[in-house]
Amino acid sequence: QVQLVESGGGLVQAGDSLRLSCAASERTFSSGTMGWFRQDPGKEREFVAAISWSGASIYYADSVKGRFTISRDNAKNTVYLQMNSLKPEDTAVYFCASRTRIEVSSYIARASAEYDYWGQGTQVTVSS
């Protein structure tokens, strides 16, 4: 059973924007912190951004700070990632992840091992 489903990826040129969405099949799968990670072939999974259940705590990787914005709509069990000023180095498969607990810290938000559910990913390709 699919628990988290990402959408919104695509092929764009450097400088363009994309908005990724991640919808949870049930509220249970989006009841805590939600985050975005990315992985390009030959590289390890990289933290991108995370947001607490209430939205009060938000974390970004230094590489995307100022360009990406994470947000969520709990009524829709959905988290978003607005990506502006895209660069070729942003090319990767983007994965949505969620925790079932509302506790959050800088470490928890950034550690993939702390998340309970994962989506299948959506491809983002940025050409030069």
Over range 81-107, report the average pLDDT.
95
How far are the Cα atoms of 1, 41, 43 from residue 70, in angstroms, in the given order?
26, 24, 23
What distance in Å separates the CA atoms of residue 33 and residue 28, rounded to the nearest whole number? Answer: 12
The average pLDDT across 41-59 equals 94
CB 31 within 8 A of CB 3: no
Chain Cα centroid distance, residue 17 = 15
Band of pLDDT at residue 1, cut at 50, 70 and 90:
low
* Confidence grade of residue 29 (pLDDT, cut at 50, 70, 90): confident
In tens, the pLDDT along 98-109 reads: 998 888 899 999
Predicted local confidence at residue 28, as pLDDT: 80
Cβ–Cβ < 8 Å for 124, 92: yes
127 vs 28, higher pLDDT? 127
Range of weakest confidence among 5-19, 25-39, 108-122? 25-39
Provide the pLDDT for residue 12.
Answer: 98
